[in-house]
A and B are shown apart, each in its own frame.
Chain A
Amino acid sequence: MGGAVSAASRLRPALFPALPLERIRVLRVLVSAFVVVDVLTLSKDVLSLIGTPGFFAPVALARLLHLPAVTAPVAYALLTVILACCAAGIVGWRPRLTGAILAISFWLWMLYSNSYGYVAHDHMALLVAVAVLPTVGGAAGGEERSEAAGWALRAIQIAVVATYFFSVLPKIMYSGSLAAWGNSAILTWASLRRGSGLAHWMLENTPWVFVPAQWAGLALETLSPVVLFLRGRALHLAVALYLGFHLATLLLLGIHFLPTVLCWAAFLPLERLRLPAPERFRALIRRRRQVTQGS
């Protein structure tokens, strides 16, 4: 018993470190801005899926909610609500309320986007982010810290790391062993199917790179939980390493994993960015109004 209590008390600062509320505020701006880009580009397929109700294959959560195939009014209503809540999130207007509405509407949007056959794997951390950000209360700005902020940031960090770490399991299950995957022709296969000009050049000229690159990828994925315990320069180096991995897959295969890439921001001291505070936004708008009324 005593052991369990002391383990829990030691786990608490790891899961709920008191972190700056200001970091949450900056992350909310980044996530809100990204979701705008996301629904207008990456997951815009919801709008074209209106035309293919025959392909509707709802995932478990969509079935649980009894979601019918998406229709034009539903899709455009969701899109409008998402964009409005993102705008509110960016300027910091009622962040908890608009954040909660954003979480619900964006989850529904993504459920639709993934209920027509293909299921994306790059949105897990972003969906966690929109869900946990509205759980943080308290006024941003200044030096204030809270455990609630710490948990929200930690939850996003864990989701980011899990995106890599949990991809090791299926590699073992589908390929027999990690070594079988590492020594396979998976990158050749991917390059032939969706490779860029650079990838095709490498197929012709440097095909020996692929197997070592696969092993390097495996190392990144297997060791990803270590990142949760890094601090300072080592942490920043690790973040750069993983972003470099995504840059490589982008240049070779056109795979960007941008939603996950954005969530790496949860590891960084965003409070140092010094974004204009919501009060300053509002003051600016007031002053504009006074100027236009005055003239």
Chain B
Amino acid sequence: MTWRMLATLLCLGVLVVGGLTRSNDLFPFGVLDQFSRGVDPDGEVVNTCLQGIRAQGEPFDIRFGQRSVGAERADVENQLEAIRADPELLAPLAAAYDRSHPDQDPLTELVLCQRITQLRNGSAHGEDELVEVTRWVAR
């Protein structure tokens, strides 16, 4: 029974360390910080988005997800700075999207964007603003 007691305490200990150091690195006993950042009722809501462009066409919205670009929104958001530094990281997403849409022309550009909603008193206020983060262009 001793090792069982020690294993329980060890896991709880890692969980405490993960929580106090705000570390997701200690998975599966990392910080449980889902939805933990209180949002200012008069702040803004940032929604990461993707837009595709074919040939000279208009940009169109592309969903995140395994059946679309092969990556979830949260994955891309957590790597936002890396992608901003190296837009080529978007290439596999464009390739995955083309694979899941074989009957259409391949993408020539993939835009990583943010839709920003202003809040007032905890409610959405005014029109959304669309901001481009970076852009991948097919070569």
Binding site for B on A (CB under 8 A): 12, 15-16, 44-45, 48, 51-52, 54-55, 57, 59-61, 110-111, 114, 116-119, 121, 123-124, 127-128, 135, 147-148, 151, 155, 158-159, 162-163, 166-167, 169-171, 173-176, 180-181, 183-186, 188-190, 192-193, 203, 207, 210-211
Cβ–Cβ < 8 Å partners of B30 in chain A: 59, 119
Q: A52-B70, A211-B122 are in contact. Are A118 and B28 (CB under 8 A)?
A: no
Answer yes or no: B71 CB below 8 A from chain A CBs: yes
Contact call A55/B89, Cβ cutoff below 8 A = yes
Least CB separation from A128: chain B residue: B11
Answer yes or no: B37 CB below 8 A from chain A CBs: yes
Contact call B27/A117, Cβ cutoff below 8 A = no
Which residue of the partner chain, among A54, A114, A174, A180, contacts B27 with CB atoms under 8 Å?
A114
How does the 8 Å CB contact mask read for B80-97 relative to A, with 1 for contact and 0 for none?
000000000100110110
Which residue of the partner chain, among B31, B37, B74, contacts A186 with CB atoms under 8 Å?
B37
For the complex, what is the distance from the CA of A59 to the CA of B15, rounded to whole Å? 15
Least CB separation from A192: chain B residue: B45
For the complex, what is the distance from the CA of A124 to the CA of B28, rounded to whole Å? 5
What are 24 sample pairs from A and B whose C-beta atoms fall under 8 A apart?
Answer: A45-B66, A45-B72, A51-B70, A52-B70, A55-B79, A57-B79, A59-B25, A60-B25, A61-B26, A118-B74, A121-B33, A158-B8, A163-B32, A167-B33, A169-B31, A170-B31, A175-B37, A176-B38, A181-B38, A188-B45, A192-B45, A192-B124, A193-B45, A193-B47
Q: A48-B70, A114-B27 are in contact. Are A184 and B40 (CB under 8 A)?
A: yes
How does the 8 Å CB contact mask read for B1-20 relative to A, with 1 for contact and 0 for none?
10011011001100110011
Answer yes or no: B59 CB below 8 A from chain A CBs: no
Contact call A51/B96, Cβ cutoff below 8 A = yes
Cβ–Cβ < 8 Å partners of A135 in chain B: 4
For the complex, what is the distance from the CA of A45 to the CA of B75, rounded to whole Å? 11
For the complex, what is the distance from the CA of A181 to the CA of B40, rounded to whole Å? 9
Least CB separation from A186: chain B residue: B39
